[in-house]
Amino acid sequence: MSRSEYIDELRNLIDDLAAAGGPGLWAGLVELGLPRVGLDEDRGGSGGSFDDLLVVVESLAGHGIGVPIIEASTADWVLGQAGRLDDGLSTVLLLDAAPDAVSGTVDAELSSVPWARDATRLVLCAPGVTPLLVDLGDATVTLRKVDNLAGEPRDTVVLAGTPVTAVEGAPAYGEVRERLALLWSAAVLGAAHGAYRLTRTYVSERKQFGAPLLKIPAVAGNLARMRVQLVQADAALALAREAAPLTGADEIARITTAAAATEIARIAHQLHGAMGITQEYPLHRLTRRLWSWRDAVASERSWAESLGMRAADVGESAVWTRITAPSRAINDEECER
């Protein structure tokens, strides 16, 4: 998968939308079809590639914008593979185990459902089963509002005898998880770049002791540490974009971007001093998202554990072969967990 050829156009478009800002932003994005980039037009998508979508997600995140684009685009991708999309906001939730839905209805308390209060549909994905579609407008559905650290909806949804339908022809759980992993990696990377840009501008312009902060060697060193983290995170995402069939590339991207998020948020605040902790100054819009998003869907720790587990299982030689070989040289047997 080569890097999107529309990369500059898409970025400029997002820059303009971000500059306009305001509560109408999501509506503007929907109107332009951006949440459905990377979905086939004959299914109701906007066309373009998955890589275009990654650029959109990364750019929005770079402005510290929190919108349901990852959840909506992923839910629509699941639904679009099974049939044609219609309007309305869909969201998605990954579960460790499928809820019991023998009679076509479900009883469950689902926590951390992203944007549930705004969505009309919820797609539930669990290992080994067909995804289930829930109508959030159904009378049996109740909802408790919960926000994450970034102030984004992560509601608790209670299903009590709620009718569900299986989304036949939908992609498997693993594919959905991998797609989410790449999209969240792109979001974290975008916010990390945003925090870096803000910090670099601040230390270049803000003067203390008669000179820009950047003249202080410890400040310059810390800015370089941020850059080094970005270099690493950029490379991890590039690897994952190009190595889609490579097992573990999604985990590598999540682990690397999460680690970068941690370091970058910490240094960005350190270099901003007290200015960075005010409501008024925009840094927190980025750092609160870095803290929330680095562990979204699954934590850095859990990605690392599963990657480490597999590495130990297959042994050094297979690990090395896997990370050095071109993807097509990896056979299915090797990809087994």
Partner 1 sequence: MDHTPGTDSCAELRTQVRELTAEWRDAGRYTPRSDSWLRSFDLEFSKELAARGLIAMTYPEEFGGAGRTNVERLAVTEELLRAGAPVAAHWIGDRQIGPAVLRHGTRRLQQEIVPRIASGEAVFCLGMSEPEAGSDLASVKTTAEQVEGGWLVNGHKIWTTQAHHATHAYLLARTTRGERKHDGLSEFIVDMDTKGVTVTPIVDLAGEHHFNEVRFESVLVPAHRILGEADQGWKQVVEQLSFERGGAERALSSYPVLVELIAETARRRNDRELHALLGSLVARLAVLRRLCFDVAGAMDAGQAPVQQAAALKYLGNAFEHDVIEALRRTDLCQDPSFDGVFGQALLASPAFSLRGGSAEVLLSLIARQEARS
The binder of partner 1 chosen from 52, 251, 263, 295 (CB under 8 A): 251
- The count of chain residues that interact with partner 1, using the rule CB under 8 A, is 50
Between helix 69-82 and helix 173-205 the angle, nearest 10°, is 160
**Interface segment toward partner 1; rule CB under 8 A; list 44-52, 96-104, 107-115, 249-257:** 249-257
If binding is defined by CB under 8 A, does position 216 make contact with partner 1?
no
Q: What is the pattern of x (binds partner 1, CB under 8 A) and - over residues 60-89?
A: ------------------------------
Given the complex with partner 1, which of 152 and 242 has the nearer CB atom? 242
The binder of partner 1 chosen from 3, 11, 200, 266 (CB under 8 A): 200
Residue 328 beta carbon to partner 1: minimum distance, rounded to whole angstroms: 7
If binding is defined by CB under 8 A, does position 252 make contact with partner 1?
yes
If binding is defined by CB under 8 A, does position 14 make contact with partner 1?
no
**Interface segment toward partner 1; rule CB under 8 A; list 61-69, 86-94, 233-241, 271-279:** 233-241
Distances (CA, A) of 191 to 11, 102, 197, 215, 226: 14, 42, 10, 26, 13
Contact of 48 with 38, CB cutoff 8 Å:
yes
Residue 242 beta carbon to partner 1: minimum distance, rounded to whole angstroms: 6
Given the complex with partner 1, which of 58 and 300 has the nearer CB atom? 300
Residue 296 beta carbon to partner 1: minimum distance, rounded to whole angstroms: 17
- Separation between Cα atoms, residue 68 and residue 209, nearest integer Å: 44
The binder of partner 1 chosen from 4, 247, 256, 292 (CB under 8 A): 256
If binding is defined by CB under 8 A, does position 277 make contact with partner 1?
no
The binder of partner 1 chosen from 84, 145, 197, 301 (CB under 8 A): 301
Q: Are strands 90-94 and 121-125 parallel, antiparallel or unpaired?
A: parallel
**Interface segment toward partner 1; rule CB under 8 A; list 13-21, 94-102, 132-140, 235-243:** 235-243
If binding is defined by CB under 8 A, does position 227 make contact with partner 1?
yes
- Separation between Cα atoms, residue 99 and residue 196, nearest integer Å: 42
Residue 230 beta carbon to partner 1: minimum distance, rounded to whole angstroms: 9
- Of the candidates 60, 61, 65, 126, the one whose C-alpha atom is nearest the C-alpha of residue 92 is 126
The binder of partner 1 chosen from 49, 140, 262, 306 (CB under 8 A): 306
Residue 159 beta carbon to partner 1: minimum distance, rounded to whole angstroms: 32
Q: Which residues bind partner 1 (CB under 8 A)?
A: 200, 204, 214, 217, 220-221, 223-225, 227-228, 231-232, 235-236, 238-239, 242-243, 246, 248-249, 251-252, 255-256, 259, 300-301, 303-309, 311-313, 315-316, 319-320, 323-329
